[in-house]
Amino acid sequence: MGYAWIGAAAVVVGELIFGTFAFLWPRKKQGKGEKIFIAGKINDFKIGEVIYFRKEKTLIQRAEGGFLAFSAICPHLACIVNWNEMLKKYECPCHGATFNRNGEVLEGPPPRPLDLYKLQIVEEKLVVDTATLIERKKFEPSQVIKI
């Protein structure tokens, strides 16, 4: 009989704790369509140019033979990296990390190069899919999306 009471009390307390966490667990956000955006036409970009898209947190770079779409979110602790046009490298303001133009770590704490977003060129337009994040160990020329 004693065990029954303890068991019942445990169930009630467990339900309260679970119920509280379940209540506070965030809802999933709707609207996956917003994750794809068109960055512009191929000819809008000069060779070597890097353009930052603030809302999408994406850096589009026109490399020698094609394009790279970087996530601007630093792989260390999620600050936003900036392109330094003078020194030709990406810099993170939070912990001083720098990346070369291919996104590889030059100095600082990040565990991997800048992540890429899936990029497609459709009818001369750059279509970036920010839902598909590509983590990589190092830069390879095949990562550049050819024109």
Partner 1 sequence: MIKSLLRRVSDSSVWRSIFRTGIPDTDLKRSMLIFNNFFLHIFPAKMKRHGLRFSYTFCLGGISCLLFIILTVTGILLMFLYTPSIERAYFDMQALALVLNGKILRNLHRWAAHGMVITVFLHMVRVFYTRSYRPPREFNWVIGILLLILTLALSYTGYLLPWDQLAYWGITVGTTIMAYTPFIGKHIRYFLLGADEVGHEALLRFYVLHCVVLPFSTALLMAIHFWRVRKDGGISGPL
Name the residues that contact partner 1, by CB under 8 A. 21, 24-26, 29, 77-79, 94
Residue 26 C-beta: closest distance to partner 1, Å: 4
What's the DSSP call for residue 138?
A: S
Residue 101 C-beta: closest distance to partner 1, Å: 25
- 130-to-51, 56, 57, 69, 74 alpha-carbon distances in Å: 16, 8, 9, 9, 15
Whichever of 29 and 46 has its CB closer to partner 1, that residue is 29
Whichever of 2 and 26 has its CB closer to partner 1, that residue is 26
The Cα 121–Cα 110 span in angstroms is: 30
Element (H, E) at 60: strand 58-62
Residue 94 C-beta: closest distance to partner 1, Å: 6
Residue 93 C-beta: closest distance to partner 1, Å: 8
Residues 83/59, Cβ–Cβ less than 8 Å: yes
Q: Which residue in this structure is represented by tokens 């001369």? A: 124
Whichever of 59 and 126 has its CB closer to partner 1, that residue is 59
- Spatial CA neighbour of 69 closest among 122, 147, 127, 139: 127
Residue 80 C-beta: closest distance to partner 1, Å: 9
Whichever of 16 and 77 has its CB closer to partner 1, that residue is 77
Whichever of 5 and 25 has its CB closer to partner 1, that residue is 25
